[in-house]
Amino acid sequence: MKSLADGMNRILSEGALTVLRKTKILEDKGQSILHFEIGQPDFPTPDHVKKAGIQGIEDNYTRYTVTEGIPEFVQTIQKEVEITRGYTPDLNQILSLPGGKPGIYLTMISIVNPGEEIIFPDPGFPTYGSLSRYIGAKSIPIKLKEENQFRLDPVDIAENISERTKLIILNSPQNPTGSVMTKAELEHVAEIAEEYDCFILSDEIYSKILYDVDFFSVTSVDEASERSILLDGFSKSHSMTGWRLGYLVGPESLIQKISTLIVNAFTCIPEFIQRAGIAALTGPMNHLELMMNAFRERREVLVNGLNEIPSVTCQMPEGAFYAWPNITGTGLSSEELAHYLLHEAGIACLPGTAFGPGGEGYLRFSYATSIDTISKAIPLVRQAIERL
Ligand SMILES: Cc1ncc(COP(=O)(O)O)c(C=O)c1O
């Protein structure tokens, strides 16, 4: 049989999915596991959003729509960007997507040719590096430093960028470290991108999950009209991971080309899902407040608990719902410690290296789980590490 396309040998899966598979095997054998590996809110989709989706089906909004999304959806995104990012994109700068993730893939293949460079954070969302390899681009991972609270340092970008760089990917608030870049840092990156004439993809999927820090979108510098592209969605902020709904806002010429690509690939997002999305953004927001109150409390309990474990230190994340403890003091690698905690303490978390080589020396704990689970886990992690 003939071989598959070469790119298929370069693409990788996600660490979280690998750990999920391992925990399933242990759970099937009767071991109880406390889960910290999953990056999705443990809250149900808000009722009014569910109702809008169900109503959409009952009203027969079950046919193809235009690719960019029904006018009401696109207008809702326009308003959302105006409120949250302070500029009003044209309607033809907006594109609906099945979740945020496809926006990464579609943007990359629309901008970057094989051999051209993509800059992205390391550690970072695994998809950036995996897709960069897949499309034959040259990956330029930029190490996030603990002394900079894991914020991507524009100076490091300036030192690594070249004429071959086509795309810079930013992610603030960040997965896996929970860092949030400052306005000054983001403006500096925008200047660098302009100097080198490259695009910025700003993955803002955690834009609503922030603790006591201001949010700034790098896309407000050029209003997503020239070189910056905004990616956001409903998965994290509205507990809608399984609905698959997100959007891109970017330069019109790029968005129109991506739209043509979508016509060829999957046509459109189901209309009843777009209608649920409209309800999420225009309806009551108390679910977000409740979720944030819970995340805030869990963050404190988890991070303080981790800091009390000898040979572990953990900074307080400013956004998203991940703790990123430094475990170098244990003497084990990230992979070894994650494996040890799973098998010896029944704690499923991710090795930092699941997010790139820059994650060595760290673990990622998602606190999108109950306070009860966190309280049970802390002594188990502590005892397991003390036994090393
Ligand atoms: C940084 C980042 N971007 C994008 C996504 C994907 O979001 P979605 O589920 O909407 O595709 C995730 C999900 O974990 C993420 O952490």
User: Which of 37, 175, 350, 355 is the best mutation target for the ligand 1 pocket, counting ligand atoms within 8 Å of the beta carbon and taking the most?
Assistant: 175
- Atom of ligand 1 at shortest distance to CA of 244? 10
- Every domain range in the chain assigned CATH 3.90.1150.10: 6-44+286-386
Contact 240/252 with Cβ under 8 angstroms?
A: no
E strands, the chain, where?
34-35, 94-97, 117-122, 138-143, 165-171, 199-203, 228-233, 246-249, 322-323, 347-348, 350-351, 363-366
User: Which of 14, 45, 144, 236 is the best mutation target for the ligand 1 pocket, counting ligand atoms within 8 Å of the beta carbon and taking the most?
Assistant: 236
165 lines ligand 1 (CB under 6 A): no
pTM for the full predicted model:
0.97
Closest residue by CA, ligand 1 atom 13: 39
203 lines ligand 1 (CB under 6 A): yes
First CA to last CA distance, the chain: 49
Dist CA 222 CA 238 (whole Å): 27
The two three-digit tokens of residue 61, written as one number: 């909004």
- What would the mean pLDDT of 343-364 be, rounded to a whole number? 97
Q: How far is the CA of 340 from the centre of ligand 1 (A)?
A: 27
Given a cut of 90, whether residue 228 has pLDDT beyond it is yes
- Atom of ligand 1 at shortest distance to CA of 246? 10
Distance of CA 59 to the CA centre of its chain: 33
User: Which of 97, 205, 232 is the best mutation target for the ligand 1 pocket, counting ligand atoms within 8 Å of the beta carbon and taking the most?
Assistant: 205
Of 105, 233, 213, the C-alpha closest to 169 is 105
- Atom of ligand 1 at shortest distance to CA of 124? 1
3.40.640.10, 3.30.70.1450, 3.40.50.300, 3.30.70.3420: CATH of 61-282: 3.40.640.10
pLDDT at 348 (0 to 100): 96
Tally Cβ neighbours within 10 Å of residue 1.
Answer: 3
- Atom of ligand 1 at shortest distance to CA of 171? 1
- Every domain range in the chain assigned CATH 3.40.640.10: 61-282
pLDDT for 162-205, tens place per residue? 999 999 999 999 999 999 999 999 999 999 999 999 999 999 99
pLDDT for 341-352, tens place per residue? 999 999 999 999
- What would the mean pLDDT of 279-298 be, rounded to a whole number? 97
6-44+286-386 is a CATH 4.10.110.10 domain: no
Q: How far is the CA of 386 from the centre of ligand 1 (A)?
A: 35
Please name every residue paired with 350 in a beta bridge, in sequence order, or none if there are none: 364
Of 75, 94, 83, the C-alpha closest to 225 is 94
Given a cut of 90, whether residue 152 has pLDDT beyond it is yes
Percent of the chain with pLDDT strictly greater than 70 = 100
Q: How far is the CA of 205 from the centre of ligand 1 (A)?
A: 6
177 lines ligand 1 (CB under 6 A): no
User: Which of 120, 234, 235 is the best mutation target for the ligand 1 pocket, counting ligand atoms within 8 Å of the beta carbon and taking the most?
Assistant: 235
pLDDT for 70-97, tens place per residue? 999 999 999 999 999 999 999 999 999 9
41 lines ligand 1 (CB under 6 A): no
